[in-house]
Amino acid sequence: MICSRRPRKDLPLDRLRDRVLFETAYVCGARASEVCGLYVEDLDLRLDDEHVRIHGKGGSVRTVLLDDRGYVTLLKLYLARAGYTAGPLFRASINGRGGPLSYDAAHHRWQSYCAAARVEIDIHQLRHAHATELINAGVSIEAVRRRLGHASTETTQLYALLDDKIADAEIRAARRRRDQMTR
């Protein structure tokens, strides 16, 4: 979670849009360009089966489970406040009815929020953080590969920063297995 999921009721729609956009990138492990290209029609928000179709590199399409309840609630709030039932999910705030928010606009918004918070984090780090969280929770590299839309697990492994405690536990378990076999 990037921040509290309970936005102020008076939060301007463009700020709510930005929160949902960045949380979508994190929760789905999606590229910012993929998130900017989402349409309302890509969402399936049926209770207990919420998912999104993400259009990735090379024309690939993957379905990502939306398994974070707080995020789904925030997404539904955004859709209701924006009044969107079809078309681009994240629209330029210049006219609000236009085409999808561009990658450059999303990247600029991200940079302005990071500057205000005095942190230096690239927007792509949301994707890395998601992959790392899954790996550290014990999700298989193959499942993470599929979720991120990578063609190979080698690419996914570049994203996975295994927590030292988890790595140590795995090494200890391997040594115990080895020691039991040599007895």
- The catalytic site residues sit at 31, 57, 124, 127, 150, 159
- DSSP tally for the chain: helices H, then strands E: 8, 3
Q: Kindly state the tokens that stand for 40.
A: 């309302």
The angle formed by the CA atoms of residues 143, 59 and 139, to the nearest 5 degrees, is 10
Distant-in-sequence, close-in-space partners of 95: CB < 8 Å, separation ≥ 6 = none
Q: Tell which residue, 144, 130, 174, has the closest CA to residue 23.
A: 130
Residue written as tokens 């008076």?
A: 10
Instruction: Kindly tell me the burial class for residue 22, based on how many C-beta atoms sit within 10 Å of its own C-beta (0-12, 13-18, 19 or more).
Output: buried
Nearest to 133 by CA among 158, 162, 157, 155: 162
Structure tokens, 84: 């969107």
Give the position of tokens 């590299």: 141
